[in-house]
Structure 1
Amino acid sequence: MHKWQAYAGRFEPVTVRAHLRSIRMLEVHLGGKAFDKVTPTDAAAFRDHLVKLGQTPKVDGGLSNSTIRHHASQVRQFFEWLRIQDGYKRLSQNILLNLELPKAVRAKTLPREDRDYLTIEEAEGMLAKMPGSTIAERRDRAIIACAYICGLRAAALTTLRLKHIDMQKKEMLQDATEMRAKNGKSFRSFFFPRTEAFQQVLGEWLTELGALGFTEDDAVFPSLNDLTYHAPGAAPVSPMQSSAAVGNAFKVATALIARCCTPHSARDTLVYLGNELTSSRKEERAFSLNLGHARPQIKETYYAKMTDEQRRSTIEGLCAGTQFTAKEQSMVLDFYESRFERGSKEYKYAKRLADRRAAARDGEDVLE
């Protein structure tokens, strides 16, 4: 178990604790039987034990379908690791097979209800409605803005430091050595297209932090008690220990537009935006990698790897304002054909698109 915990140190502590609970649960079920003596029959008995718990009412100690699936998966992953360790290589492959839950149990999780998320235009409108009269409100606005600029998860957002953001280069660094990053992964993310309004809000927040004396090692989104003047030479302002402030910011912000979206919904928004904007495999891969996805839809092992500079160039091309969705192209044409009522919501939006097209065009019609 000590060796497994050394191996599992690559994961988030909360993930390690969840796996340990499942392994300890197995140990209790086996009555302390040594792992090198575990048989396929033992694995099948543990699987049946989980199924029975799933059929037992919670008031009597039963578990949810989701919980038993996690227990089965985590124990299976433990044995996958254990079978390649010295002294355990003779363990039967059937142990892994017998830990698989019945198809009927797995099917109970389907269909999954789709998460609610905003389009990038809806998110921009929500940001505009957020108040900013107090420093707490301005911090919340900046949290929302930052989430949509690069799609960082809540834990990573909470542990951002000023040195991780470069507004001039339009990029953020997820540094797993200093941030709570999923699976301990570090990567560089470039600002996504259509996020100019969000970038402005984040830039204003960073300027405000600078006026308070914050420097590169200080947290971007510290607790409210730390949002005071920071004297030169003082110890760095530490990030918050919990991501609750990020979740609360999304709860309050989305309520302004009668929605209820989680911090992760910003990533859904960016995935949807990528589906709308990208038109080539190269652009799709750049968008996916920019979200920190190790595996785009097509396994990268079958293609040449995309370097950071190639990804930057592709993302910058999408940010140039020359990429339009089919719906936007139609709206621009309708605008030039005067099909919108002047002053209407559709007219104003189409005019913005037409202006952006004109500003980005270098003598060639991007709609052709």
Structure 2
Amino acid sequence: MINYNYEFKVELTQEQTSKADLYLEGCRKVYNYALRERKDWLNSRKCAVNSCSLYQEYIIPTDTPYPNYNYQAKNLTQYRKRSEELKQIHSQVLQQTLKTLDRAFEDMRKHEKGFPRFKKRMRSFLFPQLSPDCLGCERIKLPSFGWVKIIQSRPFPEGFIPKQCRIVKKASGYYVIITFQSDVSVPDPLHGKTSLGIDANISNFLATSQGDIVDAPKFLDQYLSKIKLLQRRLKHKVKGSKNWQKLQRKIGLLHEKVTNTRKDWHFKLAHFLCRKAENIFIEDINFKAWGRGIFRKKSLDYSCGQFFNQILPYVAWKTGRFFLKVDKDFSSQECPRCHNRTGKKLLSERTHKCPHCGYIVARDVASSIIIQQRGERAVGLRATRSSQSLG
């Protein structure tokens, strides 16, 4: 089964824009209410039944079940009968909001993520079901919205069925993300003959085993002076006033432009790398730790995690390239020719000089060659020509 997401900008009428804003506000209230209900239940169970807490007492009866998704979805049906605002919102949209909260609690328990927080604003809502004939020429039919005009920048995929769509509010307007699905099963790509090792680093964005060193543009620095100027002006405006809202929109547009520029560059670079070899090998790195280190500003500006964990694997799969993550430990300490430890101690040492065999090459290129060799050993390939040329 294959899923593709297509994003288009939508041109809503004034009535549709008001309805979309109503949906976002209603989803926010339902999310926050359901989160408060779960927090109250958990807080009331912090101490034992036979003792009293110094901070809170049982304010919820002991026989009240935990407010999970099924419990809250059942109560939501009763709330919609009494609330005129919730009656105007599609029931499945509100149910998807409760599912989002339920997934947040699952991620907290299973993947050790943080406790869910209350939302000041919602940026999107989801229609989980679409009719088969919901697509037209530069338009889409949404439940309770009717036909909505879209700017169709590319044709819809043939042989795919629209399954669901998400309405997203950005600084530049509303967008629709349509999920297309096909029952055709595509096998995972098999490894080929040519390989490419990629080393991620901070001094430059990445280096390849073929000797390419790619420097990332400073996406945020190009607009940082404008953003700082607007933020200084925003400090002197009355919060919530029209001038305050205008400046907020200008700042949001600049941040959106930075995001779009970065994402476009990432996709172009991923296609460039996938054209070089049939096998793509990278390091298995925790990029979240990079975002908390001394190089956090540069790491977050480059968005290394987005590129290496999302975009590059997707482009490799799309173009039929074999993609694999290998062990990162001591990749910069090992010599790609004799495989002895070189004992580098400082990050400022940017040149690989092996004291055992005398091999000299850029440090990042040497690491990428080690990554390529580890990947080839993992899939059972012999040393490729680039690795053999080291001897």
- Shorter chain as normaliser: what TM range? under 0.3
Whose strand fraction is larger, Structure 1's or Structure 2's?
Answer: 2
Question: Based on CA coordinates, which of the two structures has the bigger radius of gyration?
Answer: 2
Q: Which has the higher contact order (CA 8 A, sep 6+)?
A: 2
Whose helix fraction is larger, Structure 1's or Structure 2's?
Answer: 1
